[in-house]
Amino acid sequence: MAEKNTANIGFEKQIWDAACVLWGHIPAAEYRKVIVGLIFLRYISSAFEKRYNELVAEGDGFEDEPDAYLMDNIFFVPEKARWSVVSAAAHTPEIGSVIDDAMRAIEDENKTLKNVLPKNYASPDLDKRVLGDVVDLFTNMDMTDTEDSKDLLGRTYEYCIAQFAAYEGVKGGEFYTPSSVVRTLVEILRPFENCRVYDPCCGSGGMFVQSAKFIQAHSGNRGNISVYGQESNADTWKMAKMNMAIRGIDADFGQYHADTFFNDLHKTLKADFIMANPPFNLSNWGQDKLKDDIRWKYGVPPAGNANYAWIQHMIHHLAPNGKIGLVLANGALSTQSSGEG
């Protein structure tokens, strides 16, 4: 078994390179679920175990009470889902089923995670011997300090998502915006404590992670930020939910994934900061069914291009004195790309 890893420079790449042994012939989108799910399971189990040991030491008998964890924004992990159980089964033929059962048990105990966690580890497409090796990799992570491990796993999560986006090419842009671009937006807008941040097409949630980091770096509390997002792709919505959970960010992404134009999940929201990388130049976005929508204050957007619709949607949700930062696609401001009305 390998020596314990710590948060040295390049650690994220080490995790990625080692985990890539599992890839084989699995499609990138499926492999993505496997890795990000394991990162999530490892973190919440570690955070739970640290709090569990604290409660045992206090001696009041609250270590098996879910509320004792929820009050500290820690997910309650039932016994069958704890990493010690998963790691013990790493090199058995049942490891895939053990992980799937762990995911189901966590969802049953934590309603905010219902139908969010991946449960594809028992798939015959996954080599269980190699899956066990990847479980060992996460077992050997040094998780002594939960706060540091939160950032460590958060960075690893983000790094892996970035790698998946690169491998998936154009489709990767649906769930990931390069962190350098996001940081630039955040540094320009400068979100502050107790503000409301909104992303109407949030992908895996990178805008919120960088906003929280910015506030923390400027002597604020990363928890003092109200996050609102929406995502139409089911798998990406789940990734965002897990990303926020690992980072300890309390976010409202709605109860389900939904199309922002047809089912605005935050109808009454007025946000202080709106940051987005919308799918600009989207054709057939549904204008014919939304011509009388309240959001089109400056005129009905053209049917053949969603650019003006996205911009007006954001303006509609902007608070007085609020700020918008967005990523423009090539040709987004060209008259040649604006469809017919």
Say yes or no to pLDDT of 37 above 80: yes
The arithmetic mean of pLDDT across residues 37-44, rounded, is 87
The arithmetic mean of pLDDT across residues 89-112, rounded, is 94
Say yes or no to pLDDT of 146 above 80: no
| Bigger pLDDT: 129 vs 248 | 129
101-116 confidence digits (pLDDT tens): 999 999 999 888 888 9
Helix, strand, or coil (residue 233): coil
Helix, strand, or coil (residue 322): strand
Provide the pLDDT confidence category of residue 291 given band limits of 50, 70 and 90.
very high
Say yes or no to pLDDT of 228 above 60: yes
Say yes or no to pLDDT of 9 above 60: no
Distance CA 109, CA 105 (A): 6
The arithmetic mean of pLDDT across residues 183-193, rounded, is 91
Per DSSP, the residues of 125-168 read TS-HHHHHHHHHHHHTB--SSHHHHHHHHHHHHHHHHHHHHHHT
| Bigger pLDDT: 170 vs 210 | 210
- Please check whether residue 136 is in contact with residue 90, taking contact to mean a CB–CB distance below 8 angstroms: yes
| Bigger pLDDT: 171 vs 102 | 102
Q: Residue 39: its pLDDT value, please?
A: 82
Q: In what order do the strands lie in the sheet with 318-326?
A: 251-252, 225-229, 195-199, 271-276, 318-326
Say yes or no to pLDDT of 6 above 60: no
| Bigger pLDDT: 335 vs 323 | 323
Burial of residue 39, with CB atoms counted within 10 A of its CB: 0-12 exposed, 13-18 middle, 19 or more buried: buried
Q: Residue 177: its pLDDT value, please?
A: 79
Q: Residue 294: its pLDDT value, please?
A: 96
Say yes or no to pLDDT of 339 above 90: no
Provide the pLDDT confidence category of residue 7 given band limits of 50, 70 and 90.
very low
Radius of gyration for the alpha carbons in the chain, expressed in angstroms and rounded: 21
Distance CA 315, CA 328 (A): 16
Question: What structural domains and CATH numbers belong to the chain?
Answer: 11-167 (1.20.1260.30), 172-337 (3.40.50.150)
Provide the pLDDT confidence category of residue 147 given band limits of 50, 70 and 90.
low
Say yes or no to pLDDT of 4 above 50: no
pTM given for the model: 0.79
- Please check whether residue 126 is in contact with residue 93, taking contact to mean a CB–CB distance below 8 angstroms: no
